[in-house]
Structure 1
Amino acid sequence: MSLRTRLQGRFQLMAAALVTVVQLPPVLWLCWLTRTPLPALAALGVSWPYLKQLQSPWTTTPRAPSTYVALGWWSACLVFDVLMLPALLAIRAGTPADATWGLAGAVALLLGGDAVLGRPRLRRRTVRIAGLPPELDGYRIGQLSDVHCGPHVPEEKVAGWVSRLNGLGLDLVTVTGDLITHGSSHVEAVARALGGLRAKDGAYVSMGNHDYFTDGEQLVRELERNGLHVLRNRGVVVRRGEARLYVAGVDDTWTSRHDLSRALAARPEGSPTVLLAHDPDLFPQAVERGVELTLSGHTHGGQLGVPGIRRLSLARVITEWTAGLYRRGRSWLYVNRGAGTTGPPVRLGAPPELAVITLRRE
């Protein structure tokens, strides 16, 4: 079985599982309420046309009316799922006041999770590094991840994220993979938008698994043509006065293109290192090699989870590094929740984000 066939099968299974999990509670409830199987048949009729066009993640199907109907239906199902348990608890509370508070809490939970993909939050984090040269104290690194430019994330939206980062006067800006959703239709668009990134020491990109759901070489050519530095198992030295910062990037892990040893081969001795690795599961290897800061994405923070509790999200299925900042010894990892989405453009408990990491001496 070829790699593409295995990835396609995994993609289909994940899509079908997500559809089933999101739809099942409201469909069963409606079947019970109407005492007929009609809601289940309607859900199947809505979902099948959309799932059919997702059979191959390597081609982009233009958005059709059936797509909008399916996404609207799934979003309604998701809202029902989120509100169902708190509503039942509120009803059982026994008093109108308790019921009101219970339902208000449910609505707050939904809104706090950014159920519909909206404006990314700007998250600022500080990483303290022992022996950081004075010239790099206060050095600010911007991170954009999981752009997923495609039918639901047009070029104009990506350009808006770029503009927000540009307005911060960053020292370095990074994009940690999954620039597109799939197919070739948005390769030039995302390269144009990201080509607008500006920082004192330049803009650097690492590849993600979705970036090979098309011709990855074409994507790299377009990115570099628009002035971006694509780090595929290599690194570069950034200088600030007498200080040196090594910025490295690894290629995609899902297609086994990654090679951390090669990425770090040119690292000057004693220089602090920033590693761009789309997949956070590379963090333990980065720790072994003394990498001070690893910037990752890939997880979307689970995209669906419990607001405020990063352990309770779908990302736990694929990794222990779900979202946010982690530390092992002198090594740090930041897992960006990403700005875009895959599948339905819906998030819960994992709002989209842009990140700024500030380096400080420890």
Structure 2
Amino acid sequence: MVIVLVLLLGLGGVGLAQWYLWRRLVRDVSAPGGWYRRAGTVLAVVLPLLSVGALVGGRLLPLDVERWFAWPGFLWLALMLYLVLALVVGEAVRPLLMRWPRRPDGVPDGVPDGAADGAPGAASDAAGRTAPDGAAADPGRRLLVARSVAVAAGGAAAMVVGTGMYGVLSGPALKQVTVPLARLPRRAHGYRIAVVSDIHLGPILGRAHTQRIVDTINRAQPDLIAIVGDLVDGTVPELGPAALPLAQLRSRDGAFFVTGNHEYFSGAAPWVEFVRELGVHPLENARTELPWFDLAGVNDIQGTAEGQGPDYAKALGDRDRGRTAVLLAHQPVTIHQTVRYGVDLQLSGHTHGGQLWPGNYLAELANPTVAGLERYGDTQLYVTRGAGAWGPPVRVGAPSDITIVTLASSAA
């Protein structure tokens, strides 16, 4: 019932946003019956339908068909967000534009001579209505202001979305973070882990995206590679070829993988076996003891519904607590369970750093840490913003990254 209510509220909000955009970008700037009004009205109906097709297509349509909905549908969601934000700013500017500049006689520039209605600063429209200073009653001025605000909002939204899309499609940046660990042996000082999450291979991001990520990691020459979930949005038959470059990953101690919530939407078990065939080691509620520390991984909490959720006791219950422990867990919300098991460092993703500003504020409501390094008791949590994007291939205020986490020993 709650899910249905949230869905209805979401659809209502999107519908209201679409109506607002149609009013400000179509109705207010065009004449009734004109080609622009007709075309804008059609787009106001078609674009939201494409967005719905993009959102549900992954579960109903083959990947090749889904792409036809994904590109326009997801991009419209991003454009819609920033068009609404830009137009809201425009609402504050609109009254100023209606009253500026003025002619020396006090009548707003744009009001034709003779429009003044006997009293200085008053004007009437064709119906004889008057308005203070003649500003609001001048249809020519209203149209000019409406078009100016619409063009400015459209340009700003297009620039923001275009820049954010370029950032995603050009590949993630390499980020460096040093994490001091009190129990880390001196001989492990400077150990480097490449942390990558939320690659989100799907109808938009494919094999070229994977190759960019693999090349970036290999150039960094890490000691170990950690893929912390949400690799794919689709099945192995559909997206297996897009993931093949993962077989090229190179590091001294190998590459490891834990599931994210999207793996369970796509079929987690086949993907676990597929990445194993590529030479990436899945950690399904399991632990491997490296010479310098214990590396453990737990399944994502989304797997609980399938009886495959996180099992901390299995992964960490019998370990030597005198050794340093690093845990791979997709969602940051598991940090409090991690603290209870005496883990030194948890590496997570999932949040995308909010992906689309101001989404970071919403992400903060659901996650203890949205991005970066924070301490919880004796445990530190590092959350990467991820290397891809879900939905719109756009990031604003939350650039994608691959993080090289360098472990530092207090004894060094």
TM-score (norm 1): 0.81
Distance in structure 1 (CA, Å) of the matches to 2:315 and 2:5: 29
CA contact (8 A) 1:121 1:353 kept: yes
1:345 aligns with 2:397: no
Q: Which moved more, 1:60-69 or 1:129-138?
A: 60-69
Quote how far apart the aligned CAs of 1:321 are.
Answer: 1.9
Equivalent in the alignment of 2:376: 328
Tell me the residue number matched to 1:45: 46
Is the 8 Å Cα contact of residues 161 and 394 (structure 2) preserved in structure 1? no
Structure 1 residue aligned with 2:406: 358
Distance in 1, Cα, partners of 2:310 & 2:182 = 28
| 1:61 alignment partner AA | L
Alignment-derived partner of residue 271 in structure 2: 219
Q: Does 1:198 align with 2:259?
A: no
In the alignment, the residues of structure 1 paired with residue 385 and residue 15 of structure 2 have an alpha-carbon distance, to the nearest angstrom, of: 24
Give the match for residue 354 of structure 2: 302
Residue 24 (structure 2) aligns with: 29
The 5 Å alignment of 1:83-94 reads 83-84=86-87
- Structure 1: which 5+ runs fail to align? 97-101
Residue 130 of structure 1 deviates from its aligned partner by: 1.0
RMSD across aligned positions (CA): 3.6
State yes or no: 1:233 paired with 2:290.
Answer: no
Residue aligning to 2:260: 208
CA contact (8 A) 1:141 1:356 kept: yes
* Unaligned segments of structure 2, at least 5 residues: 102-151
Which amino acid in structure 1 is aligned with residue 300 of structure 2?
A: D
SS in 2 for 1:182: coil
Return 141-150 or 27-36, whichever deviates more.
27-36
Q: Which residue of 1 aligns with 2:319?
A: 267
Deviates more, 1:351-360 or 1:317-326: 317-326
Displacement of 1:77: 2.8
Greater helix fraction, Structure 1 or Structure 2 = 2
**1:359 alignment partner, SS class:** strand
Provide closer, same or farther for how the CA distance between residues 14 and 253 of structure 1 changes in structure 2, counting only shifts above 3 A: farther
Deviation at 1:46, TM superposition (A): 1.9
Hey, what's the Cα distance between the residues in 1 that align with 2:52 and 2:373? 35
Residue 316 (1) aligns with residue 364 (2): yes
Q: Distance in 1 between matches of 2:383 and 2:9?
A: 22
Query: Are the counterparts in 1 of residues 79 and 161 from structure 2 also a CA contact under 8 Å?
Result: no
Distance 1:10 1:190 in 2: 37
Cα separation, 1, equivalents of 2:200 and 2:94: 41
Question: Structure 1, residues 126-148: CA drift from partner, whole Å, max 9, x if none?
Answer: 11111320011111111110111
SS of the equivalent of 1:128 reads strand
Offset of 1:151 from its aligned partner? Answer: 1.3
Q: What's the CA shift for 1:83?
A: 3.7
Q: CA deviation at 1:352?
A: 1.0
Cα distance in structure 2, aligned partners of 1:234 and 1:21: 48
Q: What SS does structure 2 have at the residue aligned with 1:320?
A: coil
Shift of residue 180, structure 1, vs aligned partner: 0.3
Q: How far did 1:277 drift?
A: 0.3
Report the residue type matching 1:44 in the other structure: V
Offset, 1:187 = 4.1
- Secondary structure of 2:405's counterpart equals strand
Which residue is 2:116 aligned to? none
2 CA distance for matches of 1:13 and 1:351? 31
2:164 corresponds to 1:114: yes
Q: Distance in 1 between matches of 2:272 and 2:393?
A: 26
Matched residue type, 1:43: A
Q: CA deviation at 1:350?
A: 1.2
Contact 1:129 1:330 in 2 (8 A): no
Instruction: State TM-score, norm by structure 2.
Output: 0.72
In the aligned structure 1, how far is the partner of 2:174 from the partner of 2:11? Answer: 32
After superposition, the Cα gap between the structure-2 partners of 1:274 and 1:24, relative to the gap in structure 1 and judged at 3 Å, is farther
Match of 1:290 in 2: 342
- Residue 80 of structure 1, aligned match among 83, 87, 92: 83
Give the CA deviation at 1:76.
3.3
Q: Which residue of 2 aligns with 1:61?
A: 63
Q: Distance in 2 between matches of 1:278 and 1:56?
A: 25
The question of 1:126 aligning with 2:127 is answered no
Post-superposition shift, 1:40? 5.8
CA distance in 1, matches of 2:350, 2:11: 20
- 1:245 deviates by 0.9
- Cα separation, partners in 2 of 1:93 and 1:234, compared to 1, 3 Å: farther
Structure number with greater CO (CA < 8 Å, separation at least 6) is 1
Per-residue CA deviation, residues 235-292 of structure 1 (Å, 9 max, x unaligned), is 10111xxxx3111000120121111121113423311111000011001111121111
Q: Which has the larger radius of gyration?
A: 2
Instruction: Give CA deviations for 1:209-258 in whole Å, capped at 9, x if unaligned.
Output: 1112223221111111111110010010111xxxx311100012012111
Q: Is the 8 A contact 2:233 2:262 kept in 1?
A: yes
Say whether the 8 Å CA contact 1:249–1:276 is kept in structure 2: yes
Greater mean alpha carbon deviation, residues 68-77 or residues 178-187: 68-77
Give the conservation status (yes or no) of the 8 Å contact 1:278–1:295: yes
2:248 counterpart SS class? coil
Please say if residues 208 and 279 of structure 1, whose CA atoms lie closer than 8 Å, have aligned partners that are also in contact: yes
